[in-house]
């Protein structure tokens, strides 16, 4: 399956723009940035170990909340984003088995250049003062 890790340079650039717009919308509807900001209510009298435990537990709760947001509350937006990463029209997403998408996701995640590109875009956005929350 074609994806960002195995496409041509021109395809990559054009598709990245489409994906960027979809990600902006996806991050807004799923509210991931605000979920990540949730912190535990730790009393001032808590020991360092108690604080560490509370923050660790909150991180787990936040991860579950993010999964709920992207998979349960907003599956259509999530699948549309996945389709775009694989050069598939979001309206045609169900024409392919999930195993093909999972393989494509693995290929993209394992590709250092793809990850480096998007990390660089995030850094550039922040340097330019753009609101980039992940």
Q: What is the pLDDT along the chain (134 residues), one digit of tens a residue?
A: 999 999 999 999 999 889 888 888 888 899 988 999 999 999 999 999 999 999 999 999 999 999 999 999 999 999 999 999 999 999 999 999 999 999 999 999 899 988 887 788 777 766 766 555 55
The pLDDT score that the predictor gives to residue 100 is: 94
The pLDDT score that the predictor gives to residue 130 is: 55
Quick check: 71 and 78 in contact, CB under 8 A? Answer: yes
Half-sphere exposure of 76 (CA within 13 A, CB side): 2
Quick check: 9 and 94 in contact, CB under 8 A? Answer: no
pTM of the model: 0.77
The pLDDT score that the predictor gives to residue 128 is: 64
The phi, psi pair for 43, rounded to 5°, reads -65, 150
The pLDDT score that the predictor gives to residue 131 is: 57
The H-assigned helical ranges of 1-134 are 9-30, 32-36, 48-67, 75-85, 98-110, 112-127
């Amino acid at each position: 399956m074609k994806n960002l890790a195995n496409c041509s340079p021109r395809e990559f650039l054009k598709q990245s723009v489409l994906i960027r717009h979809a990600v902006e919308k996806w991050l807004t509807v799923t509210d991931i940035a605000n979920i990540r900001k949730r912190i535990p209510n730790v009393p001032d009298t808590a020991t360092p170990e108690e604080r560490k435990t509370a923050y660790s537990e909150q991180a787990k709760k936040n991860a579950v909340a993010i999964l709920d947001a992207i998979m349960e509350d907003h599956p259509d937006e999530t699948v549309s984003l996945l389709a775009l990463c694989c050069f598939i029209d979001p309206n045609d997403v169900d024409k392919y088995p999930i195993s093909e998408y999972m393989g494509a996701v693995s290929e993209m995640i394992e590709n250092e250049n793809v990850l480096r590109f998007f990390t660089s875009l995030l850094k550039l956005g922040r340097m330019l003062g753009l609101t980039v929350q992940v």
